[in-house]
Structure 1
Amino acid sequence: MGTRDKEWPQILAIIVACIPGLTSALLFSWPSPFILVLIQDKEHYDISEDEANLLPVLLPIGVTVSAIFFFKIHDIIGRKYTLIVISIPQALFWIITIFAKDIYTFYIARVLSGVGDAMVYGTVPIYIGEIATPSIRGTWGSGQTFAYNAGFLLINVIGKYCNIQQTSYICLIFPVSFVIIFIWMPETPHYYVMKGQDDKAKASLRWLLRKDNIETDFLQLKSDVQRQISESGTWKDLFIIKSNRKALTTCIFLKYSQAMAGISALETYIQFIFEKSGNLSVSPEMASIYFSAFMWLIMTLLTVTLDIFGRRKSMLISSLGCSMLLLCEAIYFYINEFHPSIDLSAMQWFPLAVLIVYVIFYSVGLGPLPSLMTGELFSVSIKGKGICVSNFSMGIIITIGTFTFKSLNGTVGLYAPFLVYAVSTFASFILSFFLVPETSGKTLEEIQQQLKGNVKK
Structure 2
Amino acid sequence: MVVIDVSKVFPGNTPQILATVTGTLTALSDGMQYGWSAPIIPILQLPSSPVKIEDSDIVWIENIYLLGGLVGIPLTMYILDKFGRKNTMLIAAVLYLIAWLLVAFASSVVEIFVARFITGLASDTNYVATPVYIAEISQKKIRGRLGSLIYIMMLMGILLIYSIGPFISIAASSSVGAAIIVVQLLTFSFMPESPYYLLVKNKKQEARRALQILRSTKDVDDELNEIAEVVEKENKARGRPLELFTVKSNRKAITIMTVLCFAQHYSSISVMLMNIHMILEDAATIIPASTAAIIFSALMLLACIFSALLIDKIGRKVLLFTSSFLTGISLLVLASYFAVKNSSVDVTDYNWVPVVAVMSYAVTFKCGLGLIPIVMTAELFPTNIKAFGCTVSDAMYVIAGASSIYLFHFLHNKYGMHVPFFLFGCSCLLVGMFAIFVIPETKGKTLDEIQKILKGETVTTCHLDTNNERIPLLSSCDDAVEKSHYDTNINEEKSV
Q: TM-score, normalised by structure 2?
A: 0.88
Q: CA RMSD in A?
A: 1.6
Residue 66 of structure 1, CA deviation: 0.8
User: Partner amino acid for 1:262?
Assistant: S
Question: Counterparts of 1:178-257 in structure 2 under 5 Å?
Answer: 178-257=184-263
User: Partner amino acid for 1:418?
Assistant: F
Partner of residue 85 from structure 2, selected from 79, 88, 100: 79
Aligned to 1:317: 322
Query: Is contact 2:297–2:362 with CA below 8 Å preserved after alignment?
Result: no
Question: Counterparts of 1:24-39 in structure 2 under 5 Å?
Answer: 24-39=30-45
Q: Following the alignment from structure 1 to structure 2, what is the Cα–Cα distance between the partners of residues 111 and 131?
A: 30
Aligned to 1:398: 401
Aligned to 1:454: 457
Aligned to 2:381: 378
For residues 68-121 of structure 1, what are the alpha-carbon distances to aligned partners after superposition, in whole Å with 9 as ceiling and x for unaligned? 222121211111111111112211111111222322221111111110011011
Question: Counterparts of 1:304-383 in structure 2 under 5 Å?
Answer: 304-339=309-344, 342-383=345-386
Aligned to 1:93: 99
Query: Which has the higher mean CA deviation after the structures are superposed, 298-307 or 286-295?
Result: 298-307
User: Partner amino acid for 2:340?
Assistant: I
Question: Counterparts of 1:68-217 in structure 2 under 5 Å?
Answer: 68-217=74-223
Residue 343 of structure 1, CA deviation: 2.7
1:439 corresponds to 2:442: yes
User: Partner amino acid for 1:78?
Assistant: G
Aligned to 1:59: 65
Query: Is contact 1:38–1:52 with CA below 8 Å preserved after alignment?
Result: no
Residue 134 of structure 1, CA deviation: 0.9
Q: Kindly tell me: are residues 199 and 163 of structure 1, through their superposed partners in 2, closer, same or farther at Cα, counting changes over 3 Å? A: same
Q: Following the alignment from structure 1 to structure 2, what is the Cα–Cα distance between the partners of residues 24 and 433?
A: 31
Residue 239 of structure 1, CA deviation: 0.6
Query: Which has the higher mean CA deviation after the structures are superposed, 174-183 or 67-76?
Result: 67-76
Partner of residue 289 from structure 1, selected from 270, 285, 294: 294
Residue 5 of structure 1, CA deviation: 5.5
Residue 368 of structure 1, CA deviation: 1.0
1:299 corresponds to 2:291: no
Q: Following the alignment from structure 1 to structure 2, what is the Cα–Cα distance between the partners of residues 140 and 44?
A: 40
Query: Is contact 1:311–1:439 with CA below 8 Å preserved after alignment?
Result: yes
Query: Is contact 1:64–1:394 with CA below 8 Å preserved after alignment?
Result: no
Query: Is contact 1:65–1:392 with CA below 8 Å preserved after alignment?
Result: no
Residue 406 of structure 1, CA deviation: 2.2
Q: Following the alignment from structure 1 to structure 2, what is the Cα–Cα distance between the partners of residues 294 and 389?
A: 31
User: Partner amino acid for 2:290?
Assistant: E
1:264 corresponds to 2:244: no
Residue 212 of structure 1, CA deviation: 1.6
Aligned to 2:421: 418
Q: Following the alignment from structure 2 to structure 1, what is the Cα–Cα distance between the partners of residues 390 and 175?
A: 32
Q: TM-score, normalised by structure 1?
A: 0.95
SS in 2 for 1:172: helix
Aligned to 2:477: none
User: Partner amino acid for 1:300?
Assistant: I
Q: Following the alignment from structure 1 to structure 2, what is the Cα–Cα distance between the partners of residues 452 and 187?
A: 29
% same residue: 29
Query: Is contact 2:85–2:133 with CA below 8 Å preserved after alignment?
Result: yes
Q: Who wins on radius of gyration, i.e. which is larger? A: 2
For residues 269-307 of structure 1, what are the alpha-carbon distances to aligned partners after superposition, in whole Å with 9 as ceiling and x for unaligned? 1122222221524x2112111111111112111223323
Q: Following the alignment from structure 2 to structure 1, what is the Cα–Cα distance between the partners of residues 151 and 282?
A: 28
SS in 2 for 1:381: helix
Residue 42 of structure 1, CA deviation: 5.6
- Give the unaligned 5+ runs of structure 1: none
Query: Is contact 2:141–2:312 with CA below 8 Å preserved after alignment?
Result: no
User: Partner amino acid for 1:408?
Assistant: L
Q: Kindly tell me: are residues 297 and 64 of structure 1, through their superposed partners in 2, closer, same or farther at Cα, counting changes over 3 Å? A: same
Query: Which has the higher mean CA deviation after the structures are superposed, 187-196 or 36-45?
Result: 36-45
Aligned to 2:431: 428
1:277 corresponds to 2:283: yes
Residue 43 of structure 1, CA deviation: 5.2
- Give the unaligned 5+ runs of structure 2: 1-9, 461-496
Aligned to 2:494: none
Query: Is contact 2:43–2:49 with CA below 8 Å preserved after alignment?
Result: no
SS in 2 for 1:388: helix
User: Partner amino acid for 2:148?
Assistant: S
Question: Counterparts of 1:16-27 in structure 2 under 5 Å?
Answer: 16-27=22-33
Q: Following the alignment from structure 2 to structure 1, what is the Cα–Cα distance between the partners of residues 226 and 17?
A: 22
1:41 corresponds to 2:44: no
Query: Which has the higher mean CA deviation after the structures are superposed, 343-352 or 111-120?
Result: 343-352
Number of corresponding residues: 451
User: Partner amino acid for 1:33?
Assistant: P
User: Partner amino acid for 2:302?
Assistant: L
SS in 2 for 1:328: helix
